[in-house]
Amino acid sequence: MQKRELGAGGLMVSAIGLGCMSLAGVFGATTEAESFACLDAALEAGIDFLDTANIYGMGVSETVIGRWLASRRPSVVIATKAAIVNSTPRSFDNSEAHLRAELEGSLRRLGREHVELFYIHRRDIRIPVEEVAGTLARLIEEGKIGGYGLSEVAPSTLRRAHAVHPCRAVQNEYSLWSRQPELGLIRACKELGVAFVPFSPVARGMLGDTALRLDQVQDGFRASNPRFMEPNFSANIAIIDGFRAYARARGVPTARLALAWVLAQGDHLIPIPGTRSAAHLAEWAGAADLVLTPEDFAEIDRLLPPGFAHGDRYSDDQLRAVERYC
């Protein structure tokens, strides 16, 4: 597995990480044995960058990873997140007291005294981001975290935080059907020496070899995403079918082609596709070695042009605290 830098002067990690939200059953029921098999497969493929959060299954994902770490003792880099409060409607807390308490809970579940990367999962607009960066800088000084990151933020927020203390990574949704970061964030990360970490780079399972069925997405997280609701769902399936056919003709798994496209958008991108299945992981784990030609880029652009997706990527409630800047 190729390596990429986790921010200027940061750790070298696998060019592809593993998003671990699925280990909490968010996209369908799973077991600890299945999660361990997936994590084992990731390690075997050279993936050493694991991304989780306190809210994934309300601690379930971190707990599973902690048990796996204890049983395997692997050398891996862990990123986790805090700031989303499980309430109705959801709320956000970037206060120092909340972040410290949530980080301690994450460390207990992970069985660690330190994590390499700690993200603010969403920005709390009640607190200046400069103040939040100061909190995170103190956690770095205390050895609790190796560096900090931001999630779903605007370039202006990144620049303000980075001026207080260098940011290691920014995590936002980015894939062939979610392209907003191209309007400034990917560029800002490059200029500042910050890693850009795309989550859902294979479109929450839509960019796989087999088209999803509507009944597969009517429970769980995707059920409230407008892109997975009719008539948007069928329209998106029909468009993506052409991309699937192209991948098949090229002789590569659809997810691997989609992920290779993301990796090609800059050497500071470290995508974190998520899965709970070792078999699905095998479909895209080799994406870093897939070289795309100018003809590939042209055909992908024709098949899936920017803005092709029908429906928003989040519901109105899920969009709360996601910074929009264009």
The domain spans of the chain are: 3-206+260-290
* CA 67 to centroid of chain Cα atoms: 22
Torsional sign, CA 51, 285, 176, 182: positive
Contact assessment for residue 180 and residue 326, using Cβ atoms and an 8 Å cutoff: yes
Reported as half-sphere exposure (CB side, CA atoms, 13 A), residue 59 has a value of: 10
Give residue 59's pLDDT: 92
Give residue 268's pLDDT: 98
Would you write out the chain's pLDDT as a tens digit for each of its 326 residues?
A: 899 999 999 999 999 999 999 888 777 778 999 999 999 999 999 999 999 999 998 999 999 999 999 999 999 999 999 999 988 788 999 999 999 999 999 999 999 999 999 999 999 999 999 999 999 999 999 999 999 999 999 999 999 999 999 999 999 999 999 999 999 999 999 999 999 999 999 999 999 999 999 988 887 788 889 999 999 999 999 999 999 999 999 999 999 999 999 999 999 999 999 998 899 999 999 999 999 999 999 999 999 999 999 999 998 888 888 998 88
pTM metric for this prediction: 0.95
Which of the four CATH numbers 3.40.190.10, 3.40.50.300, 3.90.1640.10, 3.20.20.100 does domain 3-206+260-290 have?
Answer: 3.20.20.100
Identify whether 56 is a catalytic site residue.
Answer: yes
171: enclosing H helix or E strand = strand 169-173
d(CA 21, CA 200): 10
Catalytic annotation, pick one of 56, 148, 174, 246: 56
